[in-house]
A and B are shown apart, each in its own frame.
Chain A
Amino acid sequence: MTATAQTIATPAVTERRQSGRWLTALLLAPSAVWFFVLLILPLAVVLVYSVGVRAPAGGYQAAFTLDNYLNLPARWAAFKNTLTLAPLGTLICLLAGYPLAYFLAVKSSARWRVMLLILVIVPFWTSFLIRTYAWIFILGGRGIPALLDAMGMGDVRLINTPFSVMCGIVYAYLPLMVFPIYVSLEKLDKRLLEASEDLGAGPFATFRQITLPLSAPGIITGCMLVFILLMGEYLIPQMLGGGKVFFIGNALVDLFLQSLNWPYGSAVAMALVIIMLVTVSLYLRATAATGGRRDASLI
């Protein structure tokens, strides 16, 4: 209620506060149930299953063993691919996205700015599947290779390579990188840039000493958002990697839907969540250090 409710505690006010508490509990109840049944419970089941053993016919059999965790290196290739391609994809998104964010925030005319910004965000909210499919179409047999062939360039293979996976990654996640950097650059006081110039700093020195440090919160947010989503990626390597370039997500689908090894799959899932939690907490510490605020909202 309002602050006045705390100053005078007449019986009527006490009663209202009492009913307010009931109302709050009632309002929170449905979401609390949902969080419990569809988030906490399933994650707890994964945790329990991860120390179990595979039933002979597939699925889970109760046990307590750490073998699944000790066996994680058996899927080393998936972890290695994820832990190299996810940071690399994040880095490429940053390098490709920063100049665009800078252009939008500092150089573009105010008249076009909002329109241009919306144009960056729109692809992020349109069908992920179709946008990834677009690259199968472009890089696959009937796309660029067919065009090259028609031009007499011979047999070129582009799909199902780390290159095609990287195309899909940058294409899918670039908007997510540009937006937070734009937000932090937009807040930058343009007079600082003029002051730096007046004091004789060249464009590069100004960028390194003023623009870059002040946009650090946006860079950190953008990198973390992209990195976190990439860690759990399944569709892009599945569609553009053709079984040759696979992530932890692809290993999980294989373990749960093909080999029906739920306990081992649960251990892999736990490992993925733990790697992400560690990354997120490092990120929180890093943001605290730069004194930045999180600007994660995409809308």
Chain B
Amino acid sequence: MLRAYSALVYLFLYGPIALIVLFSFNSGLSAADFQGFSLRWYARVAGNSLMLDALRTSLTVAFSSAALATIMGTMAALALQRVKGPVRVIFDGLTYIAIMVPGIVIGIATLIALVTTFDAANAVLAEIWPTDTPPQLHMGYGSIIAAHTLFSMALVVVIVRARIAGMDRSLIEASMDLYADPWATFRQVTLPQLAPAILAGFLLCFTFSFDDFVIAFFVAGPLNTLPIYVFSSIRRGVTPEINAIGTAIMMFSLVMLFGAQLLLRRKSVQGKT
């Protein structure tokens, strides 16, 4: 009975996804109207320049924020294993807050803080700029990337620190005993051990940013990310084209996710240098 129930839960989890995939290949217009296999909606998506622009924006934002977050988060995680006391407590608290505060509050707070700062800065720039066309600060790539990096960075700190905690210290001590300097030890011992966690962190950050709607909704300014584009098309009405976009997005997320899972499950990576 428990087995049957569990099967039902899996059906519940995958049924709706399967329907989206199935109907993305439907040549008809509605669920009640399954007319056979067709790729017409995919063809339509491939020729949709607004969608492609949004996709390009999302990929740029996801890649930049994931890269920044991975670098800064790993740096912080490495430093935090060496500090104790108030610095560590403060960083732990900030990481916790960054993960816990709802995305919508982060989005709103970032929006009003940046708008206020930009207004003040633009006024000053207009004052001091020698020519008549001073540069204007505005919402766009910078603000989305910065806001996504905040959450992602906290995620990387948590993941990499968990990895550091589970790391084999004896290798580092052996390296020191063999007169490797700290930098060589880091490059040849610590980094290879952390690499899977760092890469997994990157992929999760990428997935988060690529998938995020609510933060981008507030701080994107005139830009459209893919979730913003999908959200507004759904608002305009449900069309089979959205099924095709959705299927493509889910396939892409799945690839990223399995990459992250594989990396996290690998116990160690052989250092090749």
Residues of A within 8 A of B (CB): 1-2, 20, 23-25, 27-28, 30-32, 34-35, 37-43, 45-46, 49, 60, 96-97, 99-100, 102-104, 107-108, 116, 118-120, 122-123, 125-131, 133-138, 140-144, 146-147, 149-150, 171, 174-175, 228-229, 231-232, 234-235, 239, 249, 252-253, 256-257, 262, 265-266, 269, 272-273, 276, 280, 297, 299
Q: Are B249 and A127 in contact (CB under 8 A)?
A: yes
Q: Are A269 and B242 in contact (CB under 8 A)?
A: no
Q: Which of A35, A49, A127, A252 contacts B253 (CB 8 A)?
A: A127
In the bound complex, what is the Cα–Cα distance between A205 and B147 (angstroms)? 50
Q: Are A34 and B149 in contact (CB under 8 A)?
A: yes
Given contacts A2-B173, A266-B112, A269-B108, contact A149 B32 (CB under 8 A): yes
29 contacts between A and B (CB under 8 A): A20-B82, A23-B79, A27-B75, A28-B79, A30-B71, A37-B146, A45-B116, A49-B112, A107-B3, A119-B10, A123-B13, A126-B211, A129-B231, A130-B230, A133-B230, A136-B238, A137-B20, A137-B243, A138-B16, A147-B31, A231-B102, A249-B214, A253-B217, A272-B105, A276-B101, A276-B102, A297-B162, A299-B200, A299-B261
In the bound complex, what is the Cα–Cα distance between A262 and B111 (angstroms)? 11
Give residues 87-111 of B contacting A (CB, 8 Å): 87, 91, 94, 97-98, 100-106, 108-111
In the bound complex, what is the Cα–Cα distance between A120 and B6 (angstroms)? 11
Which of B10, B182, B246 has most chain A Cβ within 10 Å?
A: B246
Give residues 112-171 of B contacting A (CB, 8 Å): 112-114, 116, 146-147, 149-150, 153, 157-159, 162
B189 at the interface (CB under 8 A from A): no
Q: Are A42 and B106 in contact (CB under 8 A)?
A: yes
Which partner residue on chain A sits nearest B115 by CB separation? Answer: A59
In the bound complex, what is the Cα–Cα distance between A142 and B242 (angstroms)? 14
Contacts of B87 in A (CB 8 A): 28
Q: Are A239 and B9 in contact (CB under 8 A)?
A: no
Q: Are B102 and A130 in contact (CB under 8 A)?
A: no
Contacts of B147 in A (CB 8 A): 38
Q: Are B146 and A24 in contact (CB under 8 A)?
A: no
Which partner residue on chain A sits nearest B79 by CB separation? Answer: A27
B17 at the interface (CB under 8 A from A): yes
CB distance from A29 to the nearest CB of B (A): 9
Q: Are B150 and A150 in contact (CB under 8 A)?
A: no
Contacts of A253 in B (CB 8 A): 104, 217
CB distance from B262 to the nearest CB of A (A): 11
Contacts of B249 in A (CB 8 A): 127, 130
Q: Are B257 and A122 in contact (CB under 8 A)?
A: yes
CB distance from A260 to the nearest CB of B (A): 11
Contacts of A39 in B (CB 8 A): 94, 97-98, 101, 106, 150
Given contacts A31-B72, A39-B94, A103-B2, contact A137 B238 (CB under 8 A): yes
Q: Are A299 and B254 in contact (CB under 8 A)?
A: no
Which partner residue on chain A sits nearest B102 by CB separation? Answer: A232
Q: Are B72 and A34 in contact (CB under 8 A)?
A: yes
Which partner residue on chain A sits nearest B249 by CB separation? Answer: A127
Contacts of B246 in A (CB 8 A): 127, 130, 133-134
Give residues 15-62 of B contacting A (CB, 8 Å): 16-17, 19-20, 23, 29-33
In the bound complex, what is the Cα–Cα distance between A45 and B120 (angstroms)? 14
Which partner residue on chain A sits nearest B17 by CB separation? Answer: A134
Q: Are A46 and B109 in contact (CB under 8 A)?
A: yes
Given contacts A2-B176, A119-B10, A228-B100, contact A45 B78 (CB under 8 A): no
B260 at the interface (CB under 8 A from A): yes
B178 at the interface (CB under 8 A from A): no
CB distance from B35 to the nearest CB of A (A): 13
In the bound complex, what is the Cα–Cα distance between A38 and B143 (angstroms)? 10
Which partner residue on chain A sits nearest B204 by CB separation? Answer: A299
Q: Are B73 and A31 in contact (CB under 8 A)?
A: yes
In the bound complex, what is the Cα–Cα distance between A135 and B243 (angstroms)? 12
In the bound complex, what is the Cα–Cα distance between A262 and B10 (angstroms)? 43
B224 at the interface (CB under 8 A from A): no
Q: Which of B83, B103, B250 contacts A24 (CB 8 A)?
A: B83
Given contacts A28-B91, A120-B13, A299-B264, contact A100 B20 (CB under 8 A): no
